[in-house]
Amino acid sequence: VDDRKGHDVKYLLDCTKIQRELGWKPQTEIDEGLSKTVKWYAERFES
């Protein structure tokens, strides 16, 4: 299936606003969080 014209090819997360306005900071780095998420799914949905 061909991609649509004008379709976003990349998405980026930016938590700058919430950090600035609420002082929030992530507790987990993205690489660690993704690794833990993949492991969690693999442990529960293996067939």
Residue 19, pLDDT score = 94
CA 32, 11, 23, 20 dihedral sign is: positive
pLDDT for residue 32 = 97
Q: Give residue 26's identity as a one-letter amino acid code.
A: P
Q: State what percent of residues in the chain have pLDDT above 90.
A: 60
Mean pLDDT of the chain: 89
pLDDT value at 30 more than 70 = yes
Average pLDDT on 19-30 reads: 94
Q: Which of 33, 35, 30, 25 is nearest to 11 (CA)?
A: 30
Of the candidates 38, 18, 19, 41, the one whose C-alpha atom is nearest the C-alpha of residue 30 is 38
Chain position carrying tokens 């991609």: 3
> For position 41, what pLDDT does the model report?
94
